[in-house]
Amino acid sequence: MDWFVAAVDTIHGEEQEVIFRQVHEPGRTGLSDFTDMGDVGITVARAPLDHRLYHFRLAYSGFEHAHVVLGGESFVALAEGMQNALWSLGGAPREHRTDSLSAAFRNLDLEAQKDLTARYEDLCAHYRMTPTRNNRGIAHENGSIEGPHGHLKRAIEDALLMRGTSDFDDLAAYRRFIDEIVGRRNARAMPSASMSSAPNSRIFRIGVPPTTST
């Protein structure tokens, strides 16, 4: 009898969410998000560093870029991190996805939100990427970046254990530490991270160098 009830529930019960397996194509999708680093315990000159990491990742190859951000999530931090990521990559995917603008939208009126959205769309257009955003409340749509957040943070924590301390002489030294970890992880992702062989990507040429926060 139990099997009959279960079968009836399956056919006539409450509607269930259907999640389709995401199939990633080479060079198609780049994703951006921020992850808070407060629980890692980084200090600079023995003073706690309140910061987070901007994290960019290609969905197919796993190529990634991380950028130290002082303060909260903002369009400026997103734009700076994304541009540095694309310069590090040497190209731009066909589309860029993020839900990070949701935090930047807080406490903004409708006109300010429209302006921020337009700036994001203009930034993506500059690199010939199609801008996309996750549907609100659908967490699995950004799984290609949220899951790797944890992997990256664990790699950082392991490297800190090997280093013997989480204190750095200055911010530049900490930035170099993050760059070295990400560089090693990208080396393991090669050659699938090569943009030049990806059919859906384009190599861009622009005259603006990458920037670094101070």
Mean pLDDT of 130-147: 58
Token pair belonging to 55: 């994290």
pLDDT tens column, 188-200: 876 554 544 444 4
Predicted TM-score (pTM) of this structure:
0.74
Which one, of 105, 98, 54, 95, lies nearest residue 77 by Cα?
A: 54
Cα–Cα distance for residue pair 3/100, rounded to 1 Å: 45
Token pair belonging to 206: 């622009």
pLDDT tens column, 3-62: 544 554 555 555 554 444 455 567 688 999 899 999 999 999 999 999 999 999 998 888
String of DSSP letters for 118-182: HHHHHHHHHTT-EEEEPPTT-GGGGHHHHHHHHHHHHHHHHHHHHHT-SEESSHHHHHHHHHHHH
Cα–Cα distance for residue pair 12/55, rounded to 1 Å: 43
pLDDT tens column, 29-40: 899 989 999 999
Determine which of 71-75, 91-95, 135-139, 151-155 has the lowest per-residue pLDDT on average. Answer: 135-139
Mean pLDDT of 109-122: 87
21: DSSP letter: P
Residue 210 has a pLDDT of 45
In angstroms, what CA-CA distances link 107 with 81, 91, 110, 115, 138? Answer: 23, 34, 10, 14, 22
Question: In this structure, what are the phi and psi dihedrals at residue 78, rounded to the nearest 5 degrees?
Answer: -65, -45
